[in-house]
Amino acid sequence: MGVAASLTALSPFASARFSGAHAEAAQTKIAIVAKIGGIPWFNAMERGIQSAGKETGCNAWMIGPTQADAAQQVSAIEDLIARKVDVIGVVPNDASSLVPVLQRARAAGIHVISHESPGQQGAEWDLEFTTPAADGERHMEALAKATGGKGGYIIIVGSLTVPQHKMRADAAIALQKARYPDMHLIGDRFGCGESVDDSYRTVMDQLRAHPDLTGVLAFGSQGPIGAARAVDARGKIRSVSVVGPFSPGQGAKYVRSGAIRCGYIWNPLLAGQTLVRLGMMMATGKPITNGMDLTDIGALQVDPAQRSILAPKMQIIDRSTIDALVALGL
C-alpha cells in the first residue's frame, strides 16, 4: 500500500440545511493533518473538527497518517493542494520537513495554520494552548513533587524532531537544575512518546539499567501510558513516578492505580474546534487580533510578529479530575 493510500480520513461534512452565510461557508474546505490517526488524542481532535464543521457550515475533516511519519504528512498535504482546499491545518511530526510543501500550499493560495509547532515556516499562524516553557516547567514541578525532589529521571518525547516537545524538555531540565539539585537526568531524551509499545520497552530497559530511577517525564500522548504499563509491570508504582500529558480515557486506570501521578493537557476536542474556527476566519478574511474572544476559549493572546495565537486553557489530570474528564469523552 502506498503512502497516500495508507492515510485514513473522515469524509468532509456538508449539510444542505445551511442557507445564506452558511451556504457560502459550505464551499469552504478545511483539512487538518494530524500527527497520527487512530489514537485517543487525535480521535478527540477529530470529533472537535467535525463539530466545528457543523457549527460553521464548512467542510472540515481530519487526515490521520498510520504512523507518526513526516513523509506521510507531506504526501497528505500534497494531495490537499491538488484538491484545492481552502485551509490546511497541521500538527507536524517534523517541522522542517514540512516547510517546502507548506510553502507550495501558500503559493497555491491555500491558508495554512499549524498547531504544536511555534514559528512553523510556511504557516500563517501557529495555535497553542500553553507555551512550551510554561508546560515543561509545570510538568517538572509535578514530577519533583511526586519524587520528593530526589533521584534520577528520564524524559520521553514524541519524537526528537517535534519542536514543542524539545522546548518542553529543555525548560523542564533547566528548572530541575535550578531548583532541584538532588534530581538528575539519566541519559538523553527518548523519542518514543507517540508509541505505547516503544515507550513501554524504553522504560522497562531504563528500570533494569538504573536502580536509582525514580521518575519518568513523558511528552507525547502515548508516552505516559507506555511508561505506566512498565512501572506497573515491574511493581514499582510506589517508587517510580510517571508524569506527563495523555488522553484521560486511555490513562484512567493508571491514574486510579497511581501508576500515573498526573499530567496537564489542553482539550484536544477544543483544539480541533479552534483550528476550524480560526481556519474559517482566515478563509473569509476576518482579522485575528489580540484580545479577541473566541468561542469556548475567551480572550486570545495574539502576537502578529511571531505569528502565534495562544489560547490559554489547561487542565490537570489526576485522581481528583479523571472521572469528570473521562465523562466528557476525552
What would the pLDDT profile of 198-214 be if each residue is shown by its tens digit? 999 999 999 999 999 99
Residue 137 belongs to a domain: yes
Q: Are residues 83 and 161 in the same domain?
A: no
Q: What local confidence, expressed as pLDDT, does residue 314 receive?
A: 92
Q: Are residues 211 and 286 in the same domain?
A: no
Q: Are residues 115 and 48 in the same domain?
A: yes
Residue 157 belongs to a domain: yes
Q: What local confidence, expressed as pLDDT, does residue 41 receive?
A: 86
Q: Are residues 226 and 140 in the same domain?
A: yes
Q: Is the CA virtual torsion 172, 175, 177, 183 positive or negative? A: negative
Q: What local confidence, expressed as pLDDT, does residue 13 receive?
A: 28
Q: Which residues of the chain have pLDDT under 70?
A: 1-26
Q: Dump strand ranges (E) for the chain.
A: 8-9, 29-33, 59-64, 87-90, 111-115, 125-128, 151-156, 183-185, 213-218, 241-243, 263-265, 293-294, 298-299, 301-303, 308-310, 315-317
Q: What local confidence, expressed as pLDDT, does residue 185 receive?
A: 99
Q: Are residues 236 and 281 in the same domain?
A: no
Pull the grid cell for residue 40: 485517543
Contact 251, 5 (CB under 8 A): no
* pTM given for the model: 0.74
d(CA 201, CA 29): 41
Residue 138 belongs to a domain: yes
Q: What local confidence, expressed as pLDDT, does residue 231 receive?
A: 99
Residue 320 belongs to a domain: no
Domain span at residue 202 reads 132-265
Q: Are residues 76 and 111 in the same domain?
A: yes
Q: Are residues 260 and 296 in the same domain?
A: no
Q: What local confidence, expressed as pLDDT, does residue 127 receive?
A: 98
Q: Are residues 153 and 229 in the same domain?
A: yes
Residue 69 belongs to a domain: yes
Q: Are residues 277 and 188 in the same domain?
A: no
Q: What local confidence, expressed as pLDDT, does residue 27 receive?
A: 85
Residue 323 belongs to a domain: no
Q: Are residues 207 and 244 in the same domain?
A: yes
Task: Count structural domains, the chain.
Answer: 2
Continuous H helices in 157-233: 163-179, 196-209, 223-233
Q: What local confidence, expressed as pLDDT, does residue 21 receive?
A: 40
Instruction: Give the CATH number of the domain where residue 200 resides.
Output: 3.40.50.2300
Which residues are within 8 A (CB) of 310 and not within 5 positions of it... i.e. 6 or more apart?
A: 128, 129, 130, 131, 300, 301, 302, 303
